[in-house]
Amino acid sequence: MILNDVWFVAIAILWIGYFLLEGFDFGVGILLPVLARDDTERRVMINTIGPLWDGNEVWLITAAGATFAAFPEWYASLFSGFYIPMLVILVALILRGLGFEYRAKHDSVLWRRRWDAALIAGSAVPAFLWGLVVANVVRGVPLGPGHHYVGTVWELLHPYALLGGFMTFAIFVTHGAVFIALKTKGSLRVRANRLAAGAGVGAAVLAVGFLAWTHFQKASPVGGVLAALAVLAWLLGLAANARRAEGWAFTGSATTIVLAVASLFVALYPDVLPSTVNPAYSLTVENASATQKTLGVMTWVAVIFLPLVLLYQSWTYWVFRRRIGVSDIPAG
């Protein structure tokens, strides 16, 4: 039973890491047509995440793989019930990756605009749908006696889930704007800083509404405290952004994402996928988990290899830490 809980926490950390790191990636992609005034500035924005985005997506692959191995029942019910939104997210992420790789392959304005559109859509769609998926997981879905999803895709589009989607979209936009302000210089930095201030207020309203709704339904004292701290961190981040202290502003938005997602997992526990049909049909950390032997082997693998992955990714961020601007982009 202890290993079940350990792997629930581990999977929560993996999803937190994914939303934290991929969140600003999505934000940068969404803001490409908003902040950039020409192709050179678009290239500046893309280069802020160019060395990082594919490494950030490893967190998603690892989170999905760990869920499959540690909680196969959870994985099966989750990916069958959310088949359509997950498929749309996958297609969007593929288009986004192609946009990064192919926009510079041909010297044509039309060519670049088309791949930019793929990059923008590939960022915006997951930014919304991940919030919708997470909201449904926390609230619960129609699970039958065999833990099978017995609803339709339309049952995923209720007000609480839509609010979750709009919240993650707004938070990622703000997180991305703060990241651009942190990583660029000149007029692009100034515009990103200003946009983060306005977007941050809207995101705060949505986040307060969503988190309050969540913890009113779940009545989780610890989750409620984490949610309140997340809101406080967001406000402190906005205050730092107003002073153009981009490092502290990014710390604030990053801390908010960590605390907010953690509060949702705390509210979810001990369930991993509640049933809205009958609580007895819910998947929990106990009835959805793999065998203790499997969890034990996974634990040793994680202990050995996870530090190496974290060290490598930290080194990558350190190497590409400096600001860039229009003057750093070669012609062409």
Tokens at residue 321, please? 């830490």
Residue 114 in any domain: the answer is: yes
pLDDT digits (tens, 9 = 90+) for 175-197: 999 999 999 998 999 999 999 99
Residue 6 lies in a domain: yes
Q: Identify the three-state secondary structure at position 184.
A: strand
At residue 157, φ and ψ (nearest 5 deg) are -105, 45
State pLDDT tens for residues 264-323.
999 999 999 999 988 889 999 998 888 889 899 989 988 888 888 889 888 988 988 888
299 in a domain, yes or no? no
Q: What is the pTM of this model?
A: 0.94
Domain count, the chain: 1
Burial of 181 (0-12, 13-18, 19+ CB in 10 A): buried
- Classify residue 191: in a domain, yes or no: yes
Separation between Cα atoms, residue 185 and residue 273, nearest integer Å: 45
Domain annotation covers residue 300: no
Q: Which residues contact 78 (CB under 8 A, 6 or more apart)?
A: 67, 137, 273
Task: Examine residue 259 and state whether it is found in any structural domain, yes or no.
Answer: yes
Mean pLDDT within 43-51: 90
Domain that holds residue 322: 2-294+305-328
